[in-house]
Structure 1
């Protein structure tokens, strides 16, 4: 039972991070109605910027690396992501208003490849580390109930708490604020939103900035765990099954989908992996997503699309 709980907790922690990545996809889709293939590239770009500025800023200011340097690096990187969001809207999205969704989709693919090349060009292509002070050593809980206790990764626990706080803040932003309601209106109909005075360009800058902030948090967390390298952009691919499972238009769906994927792949790898030779963790999420596409294409919490003729 102790080993099962250990695996379950590990899956929940990883699932929270998957959910955080998926939220970036949901944000863009809710505002533009298009799937953002550039989210993974934004994670890599922001993580590279954070890693390099955390090195450069202490050198420029003549101070020892530490908390202050990391905070300044986060602020500078966040400003850069807002600038990137503005440039994306100014030179790409604003020229595609009211165009076919496939045009916006191809634009996000182009943005993804551009950021994948621009990040290493500016910040370098080596493996960099991000150290924001999250503890690396595991801890043991419930040792009075189970022999040896249940091992919990403190780094994963901190990351899950940060992700949970961010998810709550984003949910409140979308549901309770005027800007959040405007974002949902833009997603429903660009022309109708413009006709009632909602500035489409400003809304897109806001949502891409928020998605960039989410990408920064994801980049810091995964960069701290794995190091900042090109594979970070591939981590975002795990969010594709999450949004299919939860629904492309639902923030709660992204959270629930992430937890289901995280727990499912951990439990299946541990308990079913030995029976089939292992490797289930690499394809479990995509297999589950395929099943949902066949049975419930809109996901658990997605809006069912009904075309009336």
Structure 2
């Protein structure tokens, strides 16, 4: 029983790391109704910029501020140069635009900082903690607490503020939102800036875990099952989806992998996501599309 709890808790905490990336996707989707494929590249760009500045003896706090400012500037440029000209275009057009942005951001990161792998130390020991006989990673506990703070803050922002109301209006109908006086470029810029902040935090946590390398941008693929299960429009759903994916893949690897030869955790989340697409395409907390005729 103790081993089962260790695997379960370890999987849940790992799932929180997936949720950190998924939250950035949710923010963009709620504002534009499009899947932002560039989110993984923003995670890489933020982590690589931060660690490169720190290695050049910039104070960590100042490096964080500079990196965040760079991501906000990128957000403003994306809103001005990419999103504004594509207002009211089909979602596939916006998706292809973000796909192109992902390669541009990766190329810019390599141009500025090079392609070498960097180690990232956030000063958080990855030592196991004994909690009621269950060994829990101290780093995973910190990541879970960080995700909790982000979820609470972003949920309050999107549900209890005028910005949140504007965000939902823009997602439903950009032209109608413009007609009632909502400043579309301003809303998009704020949301992309928030997504940049989330991607920076996620990039630092993932970079500390895996090292800052260009494969870090592929973490976007792990966020896909999380979004499908939790729903593309729910910040809380991103957390629930991450917990389900993290726990199920670890349990499947330990208890079923021995029967099938291992490697289950690499594909099991996508099998689970496919089952959700068949049974509930909008996810657990997604909002079904309502079309009026």
**Do both proteins adopt the same fold according to a TM-score greater than 0.5, normalized to the shorter chain?**
yes
* Deviation per residue, 1:27-72 (Å, 9 max, x gap): 10100011100010100011100111112243xxxxxxxxxx1111
* 1:254-265 equivalent positions in 2, closer than 5 A: 254-265=238-249
CA contact (8 A) 1:16 1:164 kept: no
Report the counterpart of residue 31 of structure 2 in structure 1: 31
Matches within 5 A, 1:268-307: 268-307=252-291
Shift of 1:194: 0.5
Distance 1:308 1:75 in 2: 46
Question: In the aligned structure 2, how far is the partner of 1:136 from the partner of 1:305?
Answer: 43
CA contact (8 A) 1:57 1:73 kept: no
User: CA offsets, 1:182-230, max 9 Å, x none?
Assistant: 1111101101111111100011111111001000000000101111001
Larger radius of gyration: 1
Q: Does 1:108 align with 2:108?
A: no
Q: 2-side partners of 1:85 and 1:18: how far apart?
A: 22
Q: Deviations over 1:231-253 (max 9, x none)?
A: 11111211101111111111121
| Superposition map of 1:1-309 within 5 A | 1-58=1-58, 69-142=59-132, 149-309=133-293
Contact in 1 for aligned 2:31/2:188 (Cα 8 Å): yes
Partner Cα separation in structure 2 for residue 254 and residue 232 of structure 1: 19
Distance in 1, Cα, partners of 2:236 & 2:136? 25
Give the CA deviation at 1:180.
1.5
Distance 1:109 1:10 in 2: 33
- CA deviation vs aligned residue, 1:118-159 (integer Å, no higher than 9, x gap): 1111111111122121112222222xxxxxx32211011111
Q: Structure 2: how far apart are the matches of 1:155 and 1:216?
A: 17
SS in 2 for 1:140: strand
Decide whether the 8 Å contact of 1:135 with 1:155 is kept in 2. yes
Query: 3-state DSSP class of the match of 1:92?
Result: helix
Return the alpha-carbon distance in structure 2 between the equivalents of residues 139 and 102 of structure 1: 46
Q: CA deviation at 1:3?
A: 0.7
Q: 1:177, 1:273 → 2: CA distance?
A: 47
Distance 1:168 1:15 in 2: 17
Match of 1:210, SS state, is helix
Unaligned runs of 5+ in 2: none
Equivalent residues, number: 293
| Distance (Å, rounded) in 2 between the aligned partners of 1:296 and 1:140 | 38
Q: CA-to-partner distance for each residue in 1:248-305, whole Å, 9 max, x for gaps?
A: 1111211111110010101111111101101110011100000111111111111122
Work out the CA distance in 1 between the residues paired with 2:67 and 2:114.
Answer: 16
Would you say the 8 A contact 1:130–1:223 is kept in 2? yes
**TM-score where L is the length of structure 1:** 0.92
Unaligned runs of 5+ in 1: 59-68, 143-148
